Amino acid sequence: MPDFRRETGVAEVKIPLAVQVTRVCVIVMVIVTVPLFTPNFGTGPQGIAMAVALAISVVSWAVWQFGESRPRLWLAAFIVMGAAGGALAGLSSLSTAVAVGFMVVISAGARLQTEQSLAIIAETVAAFLIAALVSDAPPQAIVGWSVGFVGLWAFGLTRRAYLLRAVEAEQALEQARRAHAAETQAAALGERARIAREIHDVLAHSLAAVSVNLQAASGLLDALPDSPELAKAIECVDRAGALTKEGMAEARRAILALRGDMETGDMETGGMEASDMETAGARTTDTATAGDAGPASGRLIARLRTLAEEHGAAGDARVEFTATGTPRPLGADGALTVYRTAQEALTNARKHAPGQPVRLTLDYAANAVALQVANPLPESGTSGPLAAAGAGYGLTGLRERAALAGGTLTAEPRDGQWQVLLTLRA
């Protein structure tokens, strides 16, 4: 069903109680005083016409006053009230009957569009003039009340403009509240995503490295001659390994809770990503914990070289690091994004393709800075012992970091290798 109020231009406003009481008082005053001002009320043609006009005015006023919930009936009663009120004022021009017409023209200007209200006032004034001329009303009353109708209609138009501005102000305030609530929610989600990334990048990587070293220690202990002390040492290593796996599982659950998603985002199996989850709405930047201030470019290269050496020493694979181009500062966010990307890519290579050599390249091109991490794909059906470890949001967090730093990140198999490519605009 169409919105009749919108079609007819009826302004939907809440009528104050004081206005409603005033209307009741006015109609009661008209009902009581009009018969007193006219000696021949109810007798003769003019008296009967006055009684009929008064009765129609009162009935239409009641429907108009209490028919707000039914706009069609409200508008019909308003039209009838305008004609009856104007005629009543013309038949009894020296009484309070003119108050009915005044209520009509003021409300028409305030509640209806200009075209509709103009038709209502034209109807009211026409009914008034016809009745006044037929009843030989005084010329001064005819001119004075006609001017009064027009003036009060203009006042109603001013009232309508005020009401429309008030409604627009309320709508703008409501929109501002909704926008603020949405912005607050987006900021909270962005902060939760940032915390989730930090947990993944710091805690998960540390636990993964501890797990690798525990496995290496267990292998070395197995090669030693049996002894009670060796058995205790192996038991401690196994217990530490179990605690490490439990800690990684707890970290994964914490990340899932922070992101509000109970399903993994990046199914990192076999060194390849099964689903490409794109994340939007994060509007917060990461605080640089890498310390890339001052000579940031040289410090970043040194930290990446150290990271490559540590991964090579902790695992059984060779990590080759190369920096090309002319180094230049990337800013705190850019440097941290490059470092975290390299850290995550090296950890994934150790998890999914253990023993395979890794190539880490940082290229300072003219218009961009690119970090590439590549390693051969593992054989089909094989996976490392840590392939199932992690929170499953590594690549998602990297894409978020890249987007926040104004860059892009891709991770895909290419030419028999798994390649992670981060590109930051210069």
Residue pLDDT tens, the chain, 426 long = 334 344 445 555 567 788 788 888 888 888 888 888 766 777 788 888 888 999 998 998 888 888 777 878 888 888 999 999 899 988 888 888 899 989 989 888 888 888 888 898 899 999 999 998 988 888 998 999 999 999 989 888 888 888 888 888 888 899 999 998 888 888 877 787 777 777 776 676 677 777 777 777 777 777 777 778 777 887 787 777 777 777 777 677 666 666 665 333 333 333 333 333 333 333 333 333 333 434 556 788 988 998 888 887 766 678 899 999 988 888 877 888 898 899 888 888 887 778 789 999 999 998 899 999 999 887 765 555 444 444 456 778 788 888 888 899 999 898 888 999 999 986
Listing DSSP states for 155-224 in one string gives: HHHHHHHHHHHHHHHHHHHHHHHHHHHHHHHHHHHHHHHHHHHHIIIIIIHHHHHHHHHHHHHHHHHHTS
Return the domain boundaries, the chain: 4-137, 187-425
139 closest CA partner among 198, 94, 201: 94
**How many helices (H) and strands (E) would you count in the chain?**
12, 7
Joined tokens for residue 204: 């998960």
Question: Which of 3.40.50.10860, 3.40.228.10, 3.30.565.10, 3.40.50.2300 is the CATH number of 187-425?
Answer: 3.30.565.10
In this prediction, residue 285 carries a pLDDT of 33
d(CA 73, CA 80): 11
Query: What's at 400, amino acid-wise?
Result: E
pTM of the model: 0.42
d(CA 33, CA 114): 33
Query: What's at 353, amino acid-wise?
Result: A
In this prediction, residue 383 carries a pLDDT of 55
124 closest CA partner among 154, 141, 146: 146
